């Protein structure tokens, strides 16, 4: 299906042309037909001779209903510009064309109507010349009379050519359906309509609506039920889980997790304004209309603080309308999660960053470099592609080169920690995470490299060089200590296992054992086990009470208590009792 929206001055024959083209009445309300003008959005459809199915969004031409007009063209890729031969270019025509230009619409057909009342040639030439300086460029034009039918075949042929040149939508893209109508059908419940610009929607799909999830009970397209509708399409969705009173034009149905809602965006105006920017513009995107406060950054870059958060992505085109005039400006979204501007000169620096940042994959790489580390799903939800040189670590994306840069700093962090705590094999993972300013311990495997490894929650020397026999003996001791963490093996047991002084030193360096004192080795994590047992007895406590809590001998309890004192786990009091720090 293809979708096109009308544009043009009131009473220039837009609705009459749609009726002649489709055989349908686009003016839905009795008030519209009585007054002879379109007040709200109208919809009609037809099948062209090529077999293309065309849906037409008929927008109001009266200046009082420009907001309704914007809701109709916001998600539509092409326009049918209508100008009457007996009236020509008007102020409202200029306003509608300015909207199309600000939205960056590049595909259109010009229809000069009422050709039975005046010579259409001068109007065709004049309007095409005016359109040439907009985003529409060289627009093909036809002369037509909805009353007599003259020119209708030319109109249909022109539409076929324009539609054939539209870029193909992405059927695999996430859904963001801006709602333009919401109503109730007896026996069905809540129904919403909108233009599906990308992706696909099917019966049974679960979509996000604000902070809730709704289920698609049924899908209709062009008045017929379908199992699945694929962009571009006009669709009506029967929803479960929401009442029509809870919906309004401008709400959006979203693929879960694919968009992030934001109320602060950095944008770049598509053209330098000739005069002062409005401090509080009205922002239009899709069918949504929200107020905003505008802060100029520098040049064409501005920051918008929206009155209502919207699901926006980098690359979206917004339209800014000055409520005090007819002026409209186009703006491209450059950042949906911009940094705070706290220092003097930060706004100008931010504008320079936006101006220097390229688009596409190169821009994504530059943005990831600025953020350093970000969750992959959040980055994609912002509208960025994943840079090919980014490092993926679990759910995170790491900027190119950052992992190598941080890996160089690891040895110094480990050395410093061992200097402060020489009895420990290496720093806990959390200590290294904070030292490298990483948001999650899941990122550490990307920066901890040989000769260091992550083991038992610590960064220790690589133990890969332990001989097989030594490793088996160490594994047996650790297995026994797992059941009784304070049952340190005695010297004869260690000797029988082949663990002499050198072998034990290697096991301790690798972080697989902890040396408490000469001849006393325990497993990593013993400090946590000891603290847990001591926390269960009255404070302060004696060495004897601690030994009983641990269920071990004085051979182990005495050096272990002194080791805990040195580690800062316990505090020795003047009367030789102790308490947990």
Going from the C-alpha of 578 to that of each of 495, 517, 531, 545, 551, the distances in angstroms are 34, 20, 12, 10, 18
Residues 128 and 206 in one domain: no
Query: Residue 570 above 50 pLDDT?
Result: yes
Strands, E assignment, 224-287 = 224-226, 228-230, 233-240, 252-254, 260-269, 282-285
- Under the banding of pLDDT at 50, 70 and 90, the label for residue 577 is very high
Backbone angles phi, psi at 570, to 5 degrees: -120, 160
Q: Is 95 inside any structural domain?
A: yes
Going from the C-alpha of 308 to that of each of 264, 269, 304, 328, 404, the distances in angstroms are 10, 21, 11, 20, 41
185: tokens are 């059908």
Last residue of a domain, one of 338, 356, 374: 356
Residues 451 and 503 in one domain: no
Query: Residue 61 above 80 pLDDT?
Result: no
Q: Is 335 inside any structural domain?
A: yes
**Mean pLDDT value of segment 361-376:** 93
Query: Residue 546 above 60 pLDDT?
Result: yes
pLDDT given at position 68: 47
- Under the banding of pLDDT at 50, 70 and 90, the label for residue 545 is very high
Going from the C-alpha of 62 to that of each of 11, 14, 65, 101, 174, the distances in angstroms are 9, 12, 6, 19, 34
Q: Is 530 inside any structural domain?
A: yes
Least confident of 67-81, 94-108, 419-433, 527-541: 67-81
Residues 141 and 278 in one domain: no
Backbone angles phi, psi at 538, to 5 degrees: -60, 145
CATH of the domain at 138: 3.40.50.300
The per-residue pLDDT for range 64-94, each reduced to its tens digit, is: 434 444 544 546 788 899 999 998 998 888 8
Whole-angstrom Cα distance, residue 393 to residue 224? 47
374: tokens are 């970000």
The per-residue pLDDT for range 184-204, each reduced to its tens digit, is: 888 778 889 888 888 999 999
The per-residue pLDDT for range 307-340, each reduced to its tens digit, is: 999 999 999 989 898 887 778 888 999 999 999 9
Q: Is 563 inside any structural domain?
A: yes
- Under the banding of pLDDT at 50, 70 and 90, the label for residue 207 is very high
Residues 426 and 528 in one domain: no
Quick check: helix, strand or coil at residue 371?
Answer: helix
Query: Residue 58 above 60 pLDDT?
Result: yes
The per-residue pLDDT for range 128-184, each reduced to its tens digit, is: 999 999 999 999 999 999 899 999 999 999 999 999 998 888 889 999 999 988 888
Last residue of a domain, one of 356, 388, 421: 356
Residues 435 and 536 in one domain: no
pLDDT given at position 422: 64
- Give, for 219, the enclosing helix (H) or strand (E): strand 212-221
Residues 250 and 264 in one domain: no
Q: Is 13 inside any structural domain?
A: yes
**Mean pLDDT value of segment 414-424:** 79
Q: What is the mean pLDDT of the chain?
A: 87
Q: At which residue do the structure tokens 């009784």 appear? A: 484
> Concatenated DSSP letters for 523-579?
-TTHHHHHHHHHHTS-SSB-HHHHHHHHT--HHHHHHHHHHHHHHTSEEE-TTS-EE
Whole-angstrom Cα distance, residue 363 to residue 349? 17
For residue 184, list its beta bridge partners: 190
Residue 417 structural domain? 406-461
- Under the banding of pLDDT at 50, 70 and 90, the label for residue 59 is low
Domain total in the chain:
5
Backbone angles phi, psi at 567, to 5 degrees: -80, -10
**Mean pLDDT value of segment 18-32:** 65
pLDDT given at position 466: 66
Report the share of the chain in percent with pLDDT over 90: 54
CATH of the domain at 245: 2.40.30.10
User: Which of 340, 284, 335, 338 shows the shortest CA–CA distance to 314?
Assistant: 335
Residues 264 and 249 in one domain: no
Residues 228 and 347 in one domain: no
Residues 13 and 146 in one domain: yes
Residues 249 and 267 in one domain: no
pLDDT given at position 166: 86
Inter-residue contact 566 to 515 (CB < 8 Å): no
Residues 225 and 332 in one domain: no
Going from the C-alpha of 104 to that of each of 76, 107, 113, 194, 270, the distances in angstroms are 11, 9, 25, 20, 9
Q: Is 235 inside any structural domain?
A: yes
Global confidence as pTM: 0.74
Q: At which residue do the structure tokens 């249909």 appear? A: 156
Q: Is 370 inside any structural domain?
A: no
Last residue of a domain, one of 215, 238, 254: 254
Residues 17 and 130 in one domain: yes
Q: Is 316 inside any structural domain?
A: yes
Inter-residue contact 40 to 29 (CB < 8 Å): yes
143: tokens are 């002369």
């Amino acid at each position: 299906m293809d979708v096109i929206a009308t544009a043009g001055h009131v009473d220039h024959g837009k609705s009459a042309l749609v009726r002649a083209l489709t055989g349908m009445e686009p003016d839905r309300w009795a008030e519209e037909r009585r007054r002879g003008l379109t007040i709200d959005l109208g919809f009609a459809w037809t099948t062209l001779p090529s077999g293309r199915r065309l849906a037409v969004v008929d927008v109001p031409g009266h200046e009082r209903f420009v907001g309704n007009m914007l809701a109709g063209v916001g998600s539509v890729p092409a326009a049918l510009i209508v100008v009457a031969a007996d009236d020509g270019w008007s102020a409202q025509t200029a306003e509608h064309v300015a909207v199309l230009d600000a939205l960056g619409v590049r595909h259109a057909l010009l229809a000069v109507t009422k050709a039975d009342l005046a010579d259409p040639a001068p109007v065709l030439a004049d309007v095409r010349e005016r359109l040439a300086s907009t985003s529409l460029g060289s627009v093909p034009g036809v002369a037509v009379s909805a009353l007599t039918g003259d020119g209708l075949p030319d109109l249909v042929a022109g539409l076929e050519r324009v539609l054939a040149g539209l870029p193909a939508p992405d059927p695999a893209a996430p859904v963001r359906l801006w709602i333009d109508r919401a109503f109730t059908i007896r026996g069905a419940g809540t129904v919403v309509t909108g233009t599906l610009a990308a992706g696909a929607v099917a019966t049974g799909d679960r979509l996000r609506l604000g902070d809730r999830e709704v289920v698609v009970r049924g899908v209709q397209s062009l008045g017929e039920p379908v199992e699945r509708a694929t962009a571009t399409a006009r669709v009506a969705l029967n929803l479960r889980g929401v009442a029509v009173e809870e919906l309004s034009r401008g709400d959006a149905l979203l693929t879960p997790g694919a968009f992030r809602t934001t109320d602060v965006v950095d944008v770049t105006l598509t053209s330098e304004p000739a005069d002062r920017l409005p401090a509080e513009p009205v922002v239009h995107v899709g069918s949504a209309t929200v107020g905003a406060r505008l802060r100029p950054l520098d040049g064409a870059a501005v920051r918008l603080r929206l009155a209502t958060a919207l699901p926006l992505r980098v690359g979206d085109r917004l339209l800014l309308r000055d409520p005090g005039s007819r002026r409209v400006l186009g703006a491209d979204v450059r950042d949906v999660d911009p940094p705070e501007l706290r220092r003097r000169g930060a706004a100008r620096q931010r504008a320079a960053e936006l101006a220097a940042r390229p688009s596409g994959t190169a821009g994504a790489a530059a943005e990831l470099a600025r953020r350093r580390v970000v969750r992959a799903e959040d980055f994609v939800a912002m509208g960025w592609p994943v840079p090919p040189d980014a490092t993926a670590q679990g759910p995170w994306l790491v900027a190119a080169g950052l992992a190598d840069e941080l890996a160089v700093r690891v040895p110094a962090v480990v050395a410093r920690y061992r200097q402060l705590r020489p009895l420990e094999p290496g720093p806990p993972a959390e200590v290294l995470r904070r030292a490298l300013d990483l948001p999650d311990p899941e990122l550490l495997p990307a920066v901890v490299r040989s000769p260091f490894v992550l083991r038992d929650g610590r960064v220790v020397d690589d133990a890969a060089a332990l001989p097989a026999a030594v490793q088996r003996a160490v594994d047996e001791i650790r297995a026994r200590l797992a059941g009784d963490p304070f049952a340190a093996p005695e010297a004869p047991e260690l000797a029988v296992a082949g663990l002499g002084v050198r072998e034990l030193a290697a096991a301790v360096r690798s972080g697989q054992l902890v040396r408490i004192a000469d001849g006393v080795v325990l497993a990593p994590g013993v400090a946590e086990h000891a603290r847990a047992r001591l926390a269960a007895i009255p404070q302060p406590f004696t060495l004897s009470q601690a030994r009983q809590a641990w269920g071990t001998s004085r051979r182990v309890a005495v050096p272990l208590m002194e080791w805990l004192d040195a580690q800062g786990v316990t505090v020795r009091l003047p009367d030789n009792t102790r308490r947990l720090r």
